[in-house]
Amino acid sequence: MVVIMKRGFTPEELEKAIHTMEEGGVKVMVSKGAETTILGAEGNADGIDQEKLSLLPGVDRVMRVTEPYKKANRKYHPENTLVDLGNGALLGGEGLAVIAGPCSVESEAQIVAVAQAVKAAGAAALRGGAFKPRTSPYAFQGMGNDGIRLLQEAKAVTGLPIVTEIMSTDNVEMFEMCVDVIQVGARNMQNFDLLKQLGKTTKPILLKRGLSSTIEEWLMSAEYIMAGGNEKVILCERGIRTFETFTRNTLDLSAVLAVKQLSHLPVVVDPSHACGKAWMVERMSMAALAAGADGLIIEVHNDPPHALCDGAQSITPAQFSGLMDKLRTLAPCVGRTL
């Protein structure tokens, strides 16, 4: 942390600023220039109340020079973190792991058929929403507990681990028992009570980026989970809201590179929610692989025109199989395996 003093500060004001910083647990280095006096904090500045310090008379500006996230930070953990999806498929290593399945679980026949198809094409895990965050209260809200049960049946048939979204803190215990990877949706990225509770679980957490969240806010949400003791966090870029309306969101592929540099956590890309258009999914998946994503999460439906949710962005099992073939061809070119 660096503090810049105002011009004409008094010795008492300087003393007060130094004292406030020292109270926060750091050593203070004073640099007196002809124009500007700067106070540098040496050591961990987390204990300093930045707002209180910036309001002191004589203080012009307070700037952080280190990131506020520690556990998610690559500086303190240079090696990639590997997260096991539950069946030995690892995210964060050389391999690309693909999670696939419908937006929502709709029936036993549907989820089992899609699970079998995506497994045959090479998916590492099955996705499917049972508790759905819908913009309209009149839209299909998901099958709830029955949906979780059907996902377990699909897992029993295929062996694929299941990834599904949690919406309420009331369900944390049930999810911990019943699912392999707990998804936090974009709309709940900053549901801090939920994040804190998930920090106490042992299951991997797939943390989607909020609709309008900065990379730092996203990493701070990962930090909430990790601070609670659960370090198995998978970040998911799913597009952000911009002025563009042609696509559902704008896929921020540069965020994959940014997050891989800033953090040791694995990153997956969701081209389905990012673009909202099935015909864009294949190319954007290939782009995500080229950008360095550790995995993909893709919506696949056996009958997209009749899907109860997100049919327009869902690809068919045959299209998914073609996509996996393309990814297998591309992976060695960018130094990855599939």
Find the binder of ligand PEP among 119, 260, 273, 336 (CB under 6 A): 273
252: contact with Mn ion by CB under 5 A: no
Measure the CA–CA gap between 291 and 126, rounded to whole angstroms: 23
Site for Mn ion in 307-336 (CB under 5 A): 310
**In this complex, which beta carbon is closest to ligand PEP, that of residue 80 or of residue 191?**
191
* 3-class SS of residue 123: coil
CB of 293 to ligand PEP, least distance (A): 15
Query: Where are the alpha helices (H) located in the chain, listed in sequence order?
Result: 11-23, 50-54, 108-121, 145-158, 172-178, 192-198, 215-227, 254-262, 271-275, 278-291, 317-330
Find the binder of ligand PEP among 21, 103, 123, 315 (CB under 6 A): 103
Site for ligand PEP in 132-161 (CB under 6 A): 133
CB of 97 to ligand PEP, least distance (A): 16
Name which of 32, 31, 36, 29 is nearest 6 in CA terms.
36
Residue 57 contact partner, candidates ligand PEP, Mn ion, none, CB within 5 to 8 A by sort of partner: none
Place of tokens 């995210």: 91
* Stretch of residues binding ligand PEP (CB under 6 A), selected from 49-57, 110-118, 152-160, 179-187: 179-187
Residue 106 contact partner, candidates Mn ion, ligand PEP, none, CB within 5 to 8 A by sort of partner: none
**In this complex, which beta carbon is closest to ligand PEP, that of residue 203 or of residue 208?**
208
How many residues line the site for Mn ion (CB under 5 A)? 2
Pairing of strands 267-269, 233-237: parallel
129: contact with ligand PEP by CB under 6 A: yes
**In this complex, which beta carbon is closest to ligand PEP, that of residue 36 or of residue 214?**
214
Find the binder of ligand PEP among 238, 260, 301, 336 (CB under 6 A): 238
Measure the CA–CA gap between 222 and 232, rounded to whole angstroms: 9
301: contact with ligand PEP by CB under 6 A: no
CB of 288 to Mn ion, least distance (A): 17
CB of 261 to ligand PEP, least distance (A): 23
103: contact with Mn ion by CB under 5 A: yes
Question: In terms of C-beta density within 10 A (0-12 exposed, 13-18 middle, 19 or more buried), how is residue 297 classed?
Answer: buried
99: contact with ligand PEP by CB under 6 A: no
Measure the CA–CA gap between 238 and 167, rounded to whole angstroms: 17
DSSP letter for 333, please: G
For residue 14, how far is the Cα from the chain centroid?
42
Size of the chain in residues: 338
Residue nearest to Mn ion (CB): 103
What is the binding site for Mn ion (CB under 5 A)? 103, 310
